[in-house]
Amino acid sequence: MTASTPQRGEMRYEGKAKRVYATPEPGEYIVEYKDEATAFNAQKRGGWQGKGATNNAITAHLYPVLEAAGVPTHFVRKLSDTEQLVKAVTIVPVEVIVRNVAAGSFSKRLGIEEGTPLDHPIVEYCYKSDALGDPLINTDTALSLGWATEPQLLRIRELALKIRGVLVPYFLARGVKLIDFKLEFGTLPDGTVVLADEISPDTCRFWDAETNEKMDKDRFRRDLGGIEDAYAEMLRRVTAPAAEGRDPRAES
């Protein structure tokens, strides 16, 4: 059975990378992925034709992988090249970063050389506020300011680590090291915490497992060139079967 394509209703939100539309079904939104790329809280702008389709395809491939592993998500189905149907959630205004290897703001803040493996995964929390530049917080801050409850924060941490446990071997089996990644969670009307938003080269650091070449938005942030090719290659690898004979446990 092919489900029909719901009609786009009014635009509920326009962010830097996506637009969110209502649908005739109150519990569902259409998310449209845009071709724009921004960095440093939108001080740097760019983009290319096909970026939205690439990130939509990567996210739409990974969410069912996570669902199959027992991670509840907002994803319903892909609708078109640039659109997907999702469950409408109330976004928890706390962005969650999971780090496996030192990079980016973590390296800068603590003076740890980029590429240094972390003995233990690190879960960081930021307040989701463009006006403030998504500042680093801890769970007490989120609790105290009413952004999330204690059970929600515990569940979010549990899910974030579970997602890491699925994605690290998934990418390694496709020749990619997952250095770090950013997640957003939301709540359904019944209170269930689900993974929302996207998982793409915009929100993850991906390094080629053999060469350590960057295959993510850092190519744009740092003017490394070759960004379109890197995203296209990531889509190819994400949708490829796991490489035979590659044992992720041997390479971590």
CA 47 to chain centre: 18
Q: Which residue, 20 or 123, has its beta carbon nearer to ligand ATP?
A: 20
By C-alpha distance, which of 175, 166, 169 is closest to 252? 169
Q: Does 91 bind ligand ATP (CB under 6 A)?
A: yes
Question: What is the nearest approach in angstroms of ligand ATP to the Cβ of residue 134?
Answer: 7
Q: Does 89 bind ligand ATP (CB under 6 A)?
A: yes
Q: Does 15 bind ligand ATP (CB under 6 A)?
A: yes
CA gap 87, 29 in Å, rounded: 6
HSE-up (13 A, CA, CB side) for residue 122: 16
Amino acid at 224: L
Q: Which residue, 74 or 99, has its beta carbon nearer to ligand ATP?
A: 74
Tokens 């990130």 found at: 55
Q: Does 8 bind ligand ATP (CB under 6 A)?
A: no
Q: Which residue, 72 or 248, has its beta carbon nearer to ligand ATP?
A: 72
- Over the Cα atoms of the chain, what is R_g? 18
Q: Which residue, 53 or 112, has its beta carbon nearer to ligand ATP?
A: 53
Instruction: Give me the residues that bind ligand ATP (CB under 6 A), please.
Output: 13, 15-18, 20, 29, 74, 86-89, 91, 128, 130, 184, 186, 196-197
